[in-house]
């Protein structure tokens, strides 16, 4: 391995998925890059190197797949994602289409609807005093506003099944993947239909995409591929960020008080939540040639695991990284990726977050834990499954 430290740990072990911080710290300390002998791939966990790999698409390509296996090799072959797993010049055209259908003015046009849905849901939920932050808030909210904006009908079971499989599939073929496959099986017919124009409702981004396809402005098949990408990438991630924020504010009442006294910190609260509880904890690249990272040589054509969650807690970049501090400047987090593949749905994610948290800020003086929270284990997604909360309303 020419000096690259060899490590025999399993970052997909359930204990680490539940509480990743200890293992992220040991990986960051072992060196700028390590070789995971169990899986046969490199891993980057320090902030500077993760960010560099996100930016350098020529040397760290996504064309081999965003997950652990190289999708171009016969044993692992699957068609690539229409946007995340393609590179320029093809990617440039696809990204232009995405930037058109979810352009800032389009998303701004959704604001009223997103905010009133947030007000309505929070108004009803907080009156109960006790509720679950995931089942009663983050999931129903995102599942109400986001599929409508795309123009698709889907229920919680379908959304959870698709998201579980999508994010588990980035990791090894373990029992989490097997269980996710079982759960998604009843919905496969619906999933395939969702990529055909006829099931898309009028008025959403999906309709715009199918119209561009019908007019011959984009290649046949792209509209369906993008609608599926939006659903795969845009549901669980935002559910995760809203759930994590409720958890973090429940554990840090001083930060909730600070936010209510300075509502302008809401922007920072979103970035800080993504830094602390990075929704997509990990994804992969493939080296296109020999390259050095931190003075150590990496071979060509090898998978490289990027630990976004570890980078976002790297003390080499962040002071007091375990502290939830909504007043810090967390905008340099890597939770949205960087470079050409940086998240195309950031504005939507922020709008959803703002709509829910603002509705809570207007009503709730204190958020407290009302039992033990529980994470839904997944190979790459960090998200809560259960978050019992109680709230004290303004007098």
The site for ligand HEM (CB under 6 A) is made up of 54, 62, 66, 83-84, 95, 98, 102, 229-230, 233-234, 237-238, 241, 274, 279-280, 283, 335-337, 341, 343-345, 348-349
Which positions ≥6 away from 178 have C-beta within 8 Å? Answer: none
Q: Which is nearer to ligand HEM, 7 or 212 (CB)?
A: 212
Q: Look at residues 187, 100, 97, 111 and name the one whose alpha carbon lies nearest to residue 149.
A: 111
Q: How far is CA 128 from the centre of its chain?
A: 30
Q: Which is nearer to ligand HEM, 126 or 243 (CB)?
A: 243
Give, rounded to a whole angstrom, the gap between the first and last alpha carbons of the chain: 64
Q: Residue 63 Cβ, how far from ligand HEM at the closest point, in Å?
A: 11
Residue nearest ligand HEM, Cβ-based: 345
Q: Residue 318 Cβ, how far from ligand HEM at the closest point, in Å?
A: 17
Measured CA distances, 207 to 125, 187, 202, 274 (Å): 33, 22, 6, 30
Q: Which is nearer to ligand HEM, 132 or 277 (CB)?
A: 277
Q: How far is CA 124 from the centre of its chain?
A: 28
Q: Which is nearer to ligand HEM, 23 or 280 (CB)?
A: 280
b vs e for 378-392, b when ≥16 Cβ sit within 10 Å of the residue's Cβ?
bbbbbbbbebbbebe
Q: Residue 322 Cβ, how far from ligand HEM at the closest point, in Å?
A: 20
Q: Which is nearer to ligand HEM, 7 or 242 (CB)?
A: 242
Location of structure tokens 């960020």: 241
Q: Residue 333 Cβ, how far from ligand HEM at the closest point, in Å?
A: 9
Q: Which is nearer to ligand HEM, 280 or 304 (CB)?
A: 280
Q: Residue 8 Cβ, how far from ligand HEM at the closest point, in Å?
A: 26
Q: Residue 284 Cβ, how far from ligand HEM at the closest point, in Å?
A: 8
Q: Which tokens hold the place of 255?
A: 């930060």
């Amino acid at each position: 391995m020419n000096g690259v430290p060899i490590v025999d740990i399993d970052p997909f072990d359930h204990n680490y998925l539940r509480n990743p911080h200890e293992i992220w710290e040991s990986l960051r300390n072992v060196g700028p890059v390590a070789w995971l002998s169990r899986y046969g791939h490199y891993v980057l966990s320090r902030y500077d190197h993760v960010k560099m790999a996100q930016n350098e698409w020529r040397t760290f390509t996504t064309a081999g797949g965003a997950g652990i296996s190289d999708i171009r090799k016969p044993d692992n072959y699957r068609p690539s994602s229409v946007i995340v797993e393609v590179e320029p010049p093809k990617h440039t055209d696809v990204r232009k289409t995405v930037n058109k259908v979810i352009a800032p003015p389009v998303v701004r046009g959704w604001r009223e609807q997103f905010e009133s849905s947030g007000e309505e849901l929070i108004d009803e939920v907080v009156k109960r005093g006790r509720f679950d932050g995931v089942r009663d808030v983050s999931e129903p909210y995102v599942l109400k506003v986001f599929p409508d904006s795309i123009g698709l009908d889907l229920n919680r079971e379908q959304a959870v099944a698709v998201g579980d499989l999508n994010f588990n599939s980035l990791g090894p073929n373990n029992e989490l993947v097997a269980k996710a496959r079982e759960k998604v099986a009843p919905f496969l017919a619906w999933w395939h239909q969702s990529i055909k124009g006829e099931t898309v409702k009028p008025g959403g981004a999906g309709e715009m995409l199918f119209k561009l396809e019908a007019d011959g402005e984009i290649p046949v098949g792209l509209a369906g591929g993008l609608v599926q990408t939006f659903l795969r990438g845009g549901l669980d991630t935002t559910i995760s960020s809203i759930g994590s924020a409720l958890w973090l504010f429940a554990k840090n009442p001083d930060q909730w008080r600070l936010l209510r006294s300075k509502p302008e910190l809401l922007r920072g609260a979103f970035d800080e939540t993504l830094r602390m509880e990075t929704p997509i904890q990990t994804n992969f690249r493939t080296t296109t040639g020999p390259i050095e990272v931190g003075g150590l040589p990496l071979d060509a054509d090898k998978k490289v695991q990027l630990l976004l969650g570890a980078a976002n807690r790297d003390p080499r970049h962040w002071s007091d990284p375990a502290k939830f501090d909504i007043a810090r400047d967390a905008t340099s987090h890597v939770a949205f990726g960087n470079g050409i593949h940086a998240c195309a749905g950031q504005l939507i994610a922020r709008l959803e977050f703002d709509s829910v948290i603002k509705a809570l800020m207007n009503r709730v003086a204190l958020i407290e834990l009302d039992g033990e929270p529980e994470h839904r284990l997944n190979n790459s997604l960090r998200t809560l499954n259960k978050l019992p909360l109680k709230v004290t309303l303004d007098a």
